[in-house]
Amino acid sequence: MISQIEKEKIIEICDKENFSKVNFAKYELLQFEIENYKDWISKGFSADMEWMKNYLDKRLDVRLIQDNTKSIIVLAYNYNQTTLHEKDVNKISRYAWGDDYHNYIPKKLKRICSELKIIYPKEEFKYYVDTGAILEKQWGIKSGLGWQGKNSLLLNKKLGSYFFISIIFSTLEIEKDELVKDYCGKCTKCIDACPTNAIIEDKIIDSTKCISYWTIESKAENFPKEISDNLEGWAFGCDICQEVCPWNNHRVPVQIEDFVKPRFEETVFEKETIFNYSIDEFRERYIKSPIKRPKIHGIKRNLLEVEKSTK
């Protein structure tokens, strides 16, 4: 087991890369969590995200990803900011205002792992951010980074939920942090506000009802009526269950880097602009943004669905 001073040194290395919070979990099998996960899949809540059915063994046992893992370092990267949506239609969810975090955060993690490798040459470090078959929120809970809110997201008292989760698997033995208690209490604001009733039970999202799923992941030509009638202006992702959460509403914005700030100062789409773009123009504009994921076809579909729902 490394000393407290060494643990602090690791946190310092992560702080330099602007992570707002760094916590540590001890290796264990995610037995209880994987049973819930399987149950969730069996009920059809993963919609058409077929990849979620793969690598159940790795989700259960992270040593199949990094042999001899002893500690899991869980890092939060804040993307909250003071800006608000300019309009109530064609809204883009906050995580997608800036450049795609997949282009920045892995580089930060790589630098952290390289620095750790210099200090501990005999140890191994492997990083992920939304890039592997890993139950990231569950490791967030195990590490004491936060608790799982009723909206199913990982919440931290200081940060709220507007942060990305990153994971570093390490063969180094680091003292784990204490679990935090659940601070949702009797609140049900997220469940009450979800316009499509996608939060079917505390912490459980049915993706087939979630606007985020339909506007980002789904390849369908159209949305089911219950979704299109209730989009509430969301054209890419959905932040409703976070916007109403008291743990986000009184947040003091933490220092953020430029790549998180709205690209072209845009927090909503201009429908006409999108419809006038050629495929190449769209690609050029959004290649560095998470918005490229559903491609121009998907974004046009979303905008038409929003228009339908506001008529």
Residues with catalytic annotation? 130
Of 23, 81, 161, 171, which one interacts with ligand B12 (CB under 6 A)? 161
Contact call for residue 72 and ligand B12 (CB under 6 A): no
The option from ligand SF4, ligand B12, none interacting with 150 (CB < 5 to 8 A, set by class) reads ligand SF4
The option from ligand SF4, ligand B12, none interacting with 154 (CB < 5 to 8 A, set by class) reads ligand B12
Contact call for residue 164 and ligand B12 (CB under 6 A): yes
**Is there a contact between 22 and 15 (Cβ–Cβ < 8 Å)?**
yes
Nearest distance in Å: CB 76, ligand B12 = 7
Query: In the structure encoding, which two tokens stand for residue 256, read together?
Result: 């953020």
Taking the least distance from each CB to ligand SF4, the nearer of 19 and 147 is: 147
Contact call for residue 169 and ligand B12 (CB under 6 A): no
Window 85-114: residues binding ligand B12 (CB under 6 A): 93, 95
Taking the least distance from each CB to ligand SF4, the nearer of 41 and 187 is: 187
Nearest distance in Å: CB 242, ligand B12 = 6
**244 Cβ contact partners less than 8 Å away, ≥ 6 residues apart:** 189, 190, 192, 193
Angle at 147 between CA 187 and CA 234, to 5 degrees: 65
**Is there a contact between 56 and 42 (Cβ–Cβ < 8 Å)?**
no
Contact call for residue 74 and ligand B12 (CB under 6 A): no
Contact call for residue 130 and ligand B12 (CB under 6 A): yes
DSSP character for 268?
B
Of 9, 11, 36, 262, which one interacts with ligand B12 (CB under 6 A)? 36
| 209/194 Cα distance (integer angstroms) | 10
DSSP character for 214?
I
Nearest distance in Å: CB 276, ligand B12 = 26
Nearest distance in Å: CB 103, ligand SF4 = 23
The option from ligand B12, ligand SF4, none interacting with 95 (CB < 5 to 8 A, set by class) reads ligand B12
**Is there a contact between 32 and 171 (Cβ–Cβ < 8 Å)?**
no
Neighbours of 288 (CB within 10 A): 15
Q: Which amino acid is at 292?
A: K
Please report, for residues 23, 109, 124, 139, 192, the alpha-carbon distance to residue 115 in angstroms, rounded to integers and kept in the order given.
Answer: 18, 10, 12, 23, 46
